[in-house]
Structure 1
Amino acid sequence: MKMLVTGGAGFIGANFVRRTLATRTDYDITVLDKLTYAGNLNNLSGLNINFVHGDITDRVLVDSLLKEHEIVVHFAAESHNDNSLHDPSPFIHSNLVGTYTLLESVRAHGNRFHHISTDEVFGDLALDDPNRFTETTPYNPSSPYSATKAGSDHLVRAWIRSFNIAATISNCSNNYGPYQHIEKFIPRQITNILTHRPAKLYGTGEQVRDWIHVDDHNDAVLLILDKGTIGETYIIGADNDHINNKQVIEMICELMGEGHYEHVADRPGHDMRYAMDSTKIRRELGWTPQFTNTADRMREGLSATIDWYRSNVDWWKDAKADVEKHYEAQGQ
């Protein structure tokens, strides 16, 4: 089977390619990636894949690729909330126009399509709210990033209903693991400590994210491709929604032998709590995450992630100064 992975040089996409090659022998993979700042060809180093440098909004290019591939897994997206607050336009271009372009090509060529989305389309929950997001939770995005991802989800559902394309959607919680850009919360703290900077915590750190290891996420996506029902949406979460950002940063500091971190200015409109109810994918498809539910298991996942960044300094060191300069300008 020939599979096209959009955004496959990014964090989650590259890990998906690696996970697929390690656990499946029946896929011939092509990666399509624009190689923006978050895409890194080194993420795919040593892999037996085909790589195409290009934009998902390029209909001619997309058509030429989809003619040759049975399956499309769509990771490509602008995804950093802070960047969307500074300039929403790339998010409109990639997340909406790019998804539309892919859908029109899928409609023409009859590909199997899986769309990767986020928990942020649902907005947030109060810290004392016992509920979790489900597949039927109304959308309530709170940033240009989450609004454009919500829009892309709606486009996929409309093309399923109007044009009968063979598509599925998954909404996943916050990922962590190797190859994640160091602007993101967990790798930023790890690389700060490795470069003798203090770890940085937004505001009071009460915000809660249902942190999931990237391999657990990608195992769920592969399972949806294998066994998922066409037209369905699947929530992917690891039951880690009882651990707040303050506890995560303290866990990182503990694992790295560092006792100090700094509070910095909070992000505007910072969502308070995400929590995912993944009952459907667990019950219907038999998915079970590895790094789940307890602080000890998340500590295990974080420890492996710390080891990766410690062992791969050359992968991130050149970008570190620029990332910290950007945050310093924002008082963060």
Structure 2
Amino acid sequence: MHDILEGVLQLSLLMLLKTLIYEKSYFQLSILNTRIESFCYGPIDTMNKPIKIKETGFLTASDIKQSASQTWCLVRYLPLLIGDLVDEGDEYWNHYLELMTITDYIFAPVTTESTTVYLGTLIEDFLTDFRQLYPERRFTPKLHYLLHISSYMRRCGPLVRVWCMRYESKHSYLKQVAHVAKNYINIPKSLAQHHQKQICYRMANNSTYLKSQATHGKVSQMVAGSLEYFDTLENGHYCNRDSILHRVRFVTVKGTKYAIGYMVICYYDNEFPVFGKVKDILIQPNKDNSLFILTPYICTTNKFMQLLITVMIGLLLLSTVFATAFSVELLQSGVY
């Protein structure tokens, strides 16, 4: 987290923006700030929305003044924010896209030994290009640490499993308590008491705390036969025409929230992900089972690394069995 999100990404993003704004004159910083403010980040990334970049002193700034989560959000959405303003084939922009590829491998939840070898080659090329594109910029220790990432992954596995982001998130609560309490006589004891009281409250008032049971929003009942996609449900042997189903707007499984309008990955087709947009969520009464009605999307990329979403006709049905560790059954509905 500290080496990538608060180190390499912030430095590379700062150098890129300075070049695109002041040397290439593709756009002004005010345009970027306007797009940052008006862009729709969706329900998941809203909490990580980056702040506007201050124009005063930006040319001499040493970082972009964003938190780790805000930096990660900005880096991922930057092609959608300013991609249309940059010339295709720009060497500085391509260098930034190389960094996006590297971070995708670093933050991947799974990895292989061959992937780590390829990642090491990508990092070496990135650092060589960085030296050529920004010769006036001194190499920082965190840039050097990139060279060791691939060997760490071979020894420890996916680095996202051992990063300190979750510890920082836990620590943020304690920092808030310390700021509000304003009692520093015995701060460890004060924080421990507040923490234990919070845990006791959550365990006493939330029957699903520390359990695998799913929670959901407000329920509305309906007859399965009245649904436009009843044939898909019937073909999957999930219900008959007279079955009563509960419709909800969201479900939460082991801390992960799924709501209508969210995008989920169904599977991969020729190494490209096939997404599904949650159109409806149905719960079968007296069963630990929820049905996700999805509109399928297929994802492709052009040479400029901007996502192009092509809508496909039809519906997909995802069944998630909450009694187990989120096992997923994917049913075809005649589309494929």
TM category (shorter chain) comes to under 0.3
TM-score normalised by L of structure 1:
0.26
Structure with greater strand percent: 2
Q: Which has more radius of gyration?
A: 2
Between the two structures, name the one with larger relative contact order (CA 8 Å, sep ≥ 6): 1
TM-score for the superposition, normalised by structure 2: 0.26
